[in-house]
Chain A
């Protein structure tokens, strides 16, 4: 099967061939294999409890949300290409004009151009946060690979896993319906009393969709925590787990602990809107800043729900494609847990301009602490490259892009944590640029790295490497042109959530808009590359990258029960110096010649 002998190397635990001698499910097909009839194939997906199928379903759903949110972003950038100005008494520069809708009874409502912009940016934010970036990595790639990496047959609660997908879809449908049924223009943050008083559209429905989506997130979180605790393969200790598992585990803890808070908060907001019970609206005796505290108590940890799994992917991709053990494995693993813990204590840094001075000072101090574990990770990833054998393929290029953009995203955090500087930068384009560098430059780049890394395993097909590299280049250029410009705009005082602006900001906005087109071109290149791969890609080998983590030590695509035999932990996830990767075939990807057996590093 494999031309490289898959035998243990002296002094290290390698694969024990005798395990393979037991009786297994050798006739079992790929999890993707169609059933006898189309109806049965469809039903095999609809009622599946296979974590891989659910992962694929999540992937399709979240990527569709990404497309929807992305199209909204392109429209926003297009509106901002020119400011609204009166030229000879005529308004110019408006993409969205006033829209007058006539109802059946003859009465009419006018939606102003600004209002359309506001609905679109709310749509962009809400969809990207709640429907794409929070579930994308944990629920799609995490679902697929967490059990495989642990050598497990499935997650701990497969039915709960399926339920979480249906709940996600229900929440997603509610969110999209609220846009169709009149739109929401509160911003994804739903700040009160604006959100409790706005009479536009279907705000209540959108709020309830967030409530429903929260459950999906909690179900996934519970599942992963239990899976990691209970379903590690025999012999695998906590510090033998791949770092993606560590990151997903930290994420799951935040999901379980923080998500109920947003659920309760949006429910209170819905109660206030529907029953006029004063909680946040001062006109009813409530306190609007209380909402901000509740909201950010979830939504700040949620930032780490978004980024931690991405950090996990980067650890996997760098280790595999540089053929190195991650430098300071324990430091990287513990930093995930540290980030998860500190993330609960920094929510007030979103409120330096609205809360009391003492609270601001305390939150500023704690916020700086988050910088340390994040810095540890970045230093560790860069140090891992030293004396590596670095493949310049798409996953690795995306990991390098991630290091570039995420470092900028990370380094633009401290100016916002500095109390006095935040009074200038809060709610400007600086913040917009910062969180896009973290969320898109971090999480989305990591997701793209992960997709290119795991695509062959998931679908059994290779993609066109050069097309993918071209996409990566376009995304890198487009992303930086779009968002780096926004740091400049923000420093010069351009506030966010503006449908129009004073003419002095026009050059910056124009550059940013042109960047968004390049970025879109790159992402569509990836979309077509992946689609082409599905329908005509070269068949993928079992372990094209020569990786040591368990998900590669099975068929491609994996069989329904993941492994033919119950796996046993035999080698470290990153022991590239001393272990020959399982199931590698010569010529698939040029692996460096193995080190002489028995050589010692230190």
Chain B
């Protein structure tokens, strides 16, 4: 584990020249003053828990700026308050003469801030480069951002099925290993988002037209919030996830579980995907209003579209709405939804459709049949697991699609 004691000398090595080195050492000393814990008392007051290698470096430079700022603030306000009282206007007291400029003083108060600014720039630049340049051998996780959900696809093709309630909404949980670099390769499907993990002290914008990367090396096991930091619309404030830093072994076990979606029945998988794919950002399941139509009772219901057509929400319509959402928009709603083409495996698509059906009274029988058929199939797959050349479970045709 990386501790504060181990990291405090670091900032000095980043600084140019002897005076800066002294300043850096002084700041580092202040930063860690009176503390043998991970974060000093001032640091604990100012920052949340730090959980990435560069996070504590970043805290150090912020603390340096903090102490410099505090010094100048106290100096200026002290003088201001003292003189404002000392030289307050009183009856009969004449005004006094004093010099109205002093080149030496003016050079001094231009020069000192300039030097301090140079130190701040250089220090921040060094840490920035460290934060930006991804180390070799980092494990890649593909991150997709869309209104209003984060989807992480791990190297083995799995995506999280675990959820947690953050604020007022269920959000996905993503586990990352402790003590080795992870590289998030990020892109957006619609507008600009920004992936922000306060405990890592870093955010990087997620763009619709290019990949951006966010690497980190997590140091402290624990649960950390992931926020969207670039305004992206209605549910911007609910576009969250929970990052769990776990030791390597636990991470590997979690990772292996991910691809085994066969442990869930078709209906349960649908329920999980409803949250982990972010459907819940717009579609309620209790009939309440949202950015998109509620799923409650939607199956086989007739809707008027924005182009005037009247369509019945059968399997085909639902499937089209997931893969090509812009094709038909229900009247009264905006064309907001990003496509899920290529992001759902066949069984997952089937699971979502089954879940939607289960929310309508007229779909219950079909759901039971589909779930039963799927149960039989996944039992089959479980049995064939381990046999050489067995087909990958995800390639098996999904029940509802086959039933049509």
Residues of A within 8 A of B (CB): 83-86, 91, 98, 100, 107-110, 112, 114-115, 118, 185, 187, 191, 193-194, 197-200, 282-283, 287-289, 322-331, 353-354, 357, 360-361, 364-365, 368-369, 371-372, 375-376, 378-380, 382-383, 385-392, 400, 403-404, 407-408, 411-412, 414-415, 417-424, 426-428, 491-493, 495-503, 574, 576-577, 590, 592-595, 599-602
B234–A421 CB distance below 8 A: no
A414–B65 CB distance below 8 A: yes
For A331, the chain B residues whose CB sits under 8 A away are 101, 106
Contact mask for chain B residues 67-92; partner A; CB cutoff 8 A; 1 contact, 0 none: 01100110011011001100111011
B233–A389 CB distance below 8 A: no
Q: A187-B231, A353-B203 are in contact. Are A407 and B198 (CB under 8 A)?
A: no
The residue on A at minimum CB distance from B71 is A411
Q: A497-B231, A593-B92 are in contact. Are A411 and B77 (CB under 8 A)?
A: no
Q: Is B7 located at the chain interface by the 8 A CB criterion?
A: no
A495–B229 CB distance below 8 A: yes
Closest 7 CB pairs of A and B: A493-B198, A418-B124, A282-B209, A419-B128, A498-B237, A420-B127, A368-B117
Q: Is B220 located at the chain interface by the 8 A CB criterion?
A: no
For A427, the chain B residues whose CB sits under 8 A away are 194, 196, 203, 229-230
Instruction: Give Cα A372–Cα B110 distance, bound, in whole angstroms.
Output: 6
Contact mask for chain B residues 189-206; partner A; CB cutoff 8 A; 1 contact, 0 none: 011101010110111110
> Given B87, B92, B127, B233, which contacts A385 in the complex, CB threshold below 8 Å?
B87
For B47, the chain A residues whose CB sits under 8 A away are 491-492
Q: Is B176 located at the chain interface by the 8 A CB criterion?
A: no
Contact mask for chain B residues 162-177; partner A; CB cutoff 8 A; 1 contact, 0 none: 0001111000000000
Beyond A194-B232, A424-B62, A497-B236: 5 further Cβ-contacts under 8 Å? A194-B233, A287-B209, A382-B79, A424-B203, A427-B230
Instruction: Give Cα A372–Cα B114 distance, bound, in whole angstroms.
Output: 6
For A283, the chain B residues whose CB sits under 8 A away are 208
Residues of B within 8 A of A (CB): 46-48, 54, 57-58, 61-62, 65-66, 68-69, 72-73, 76-77, 79-80, 83-84, 87-89, 91-102, 105-106, 109-110, 113-114, 117-118, 120-121, 123-125, 127-132, 165-168, 190-192, 194, 196, 198-199, 201-205, 207-209, 225, 227-238, 240, 288-291, 304, 331-332, 334-336
A288–B207 CB distance below 8 A: yes
A110–B209 CB distance below 8 A: no
Main secondary structure of the interface of B (DSSP, over half): mixed
A408–B80 CB distance below 8 A: no
The residue on A at minimum CB distance from B293 is A110
A418–B121 CB distance below 8 A: yes
B166–A502 CB distance below 8 A: yes
For A497, the chain B residues whose CB sits under 8 A away are 231, 236-237
Query: Would you give the shortest CB distance from B105 to chain A, in whole angstroms?
Result: 7
Q: A289-B207, A378-B76, A382-B80 are in contact. Are A502 and B225 (CB under 8 A)?
A: yes
Instruction: Give Cα A199–Cα B234 distance, bound, in whole angstroms.
Output: 12
> Given B89, B98, B168, which contacts A601 in the complex, CB threshold below 8 Å?
B98
For A288, the chain B residues whose CB sits under 8 A away are 191-192, 207-209
Q: A110-B289, A325-B100 are in contact. Are A386 and B237 (CB under 8 A)?
A: no
A98–B167 CB distance below 8 A: no
Instruction: Give Cα A70–Cα B238 distance, bound, in whole angstroms.
Output: 26
B208–A327 CB distance below 8 A: no
Instruction: Give Cα A76–Cα B157 distance, bound, in whole angstroms.
Output: 42
Q: A191-B231, A199-B335 are in contact. Are A383 and B105 (CB under 8 A)?
A: yes
Q: A387-B96, A577-B97 are in contact. Are A418 and B61 (CB under 8 A)?
A: yes
Q: Pick from B47, B84, B231 the residue with the most CB of A within 10 Å.
A: B231
B84–A324 CB distance below 8 A: no
B167–A415 CB distance below 8 A: no
Query: Would you give the shortest CB distance from A106 to chain B, in whole angstroms?
Result: 10
Instruction: Give Cα A383–Cα B105 distance, bound, in whole angstroms.
Output: 10
Instruction: Give Cα A118–Cα B236 distance, bound, in whole angstroms.
Output: 10
Instruction: Give Cα A355–Cα B347 distance, bound, in whole angstroms.
Output: 39
For A424, the chain B residues whose CB sits under 8 A away are 58, 62, 198, 201-203
For B88, the chain A residues whose CB sits under 8 A away are 390-392
Q: A360-B128, A390-B87, A500-B237 are in contact. Are A199 and B334 (CB under 8 A)?
A: yes
The residue on A at minimum CB distance from B114 is A372
Query: Would you give the shortest CB distance from A87 to chain B, in whole angstroms?
Result: 10
Instruction: Give Cα A357–Cα B117 distance, bound, in whole angstroms.
Output: 20
For A418, the chain B residues whose CB sits under 8 A away are 61-62, 65, 120-121, 123-124
User: What would 30 A/B residue contacts be, using CB atoms closer than 8 Å?
Assistant: A91-B168, A98-B288, A114-B238, A118-B236, A193-B190, A331-B101, A357-B132, A372-B113, A379-B106, A382-B83, A385-B87, A387-B98, A388-B95, A391-B88, A400-B84, A411-B69, A415-B66, A417-B124, A418-B62, A419-B127, A420-B130, A420-B131, A424-B58, A427-B194, A427-B203, A491-B47, A493-B198, A499-B237, A592-B95, A601-B97
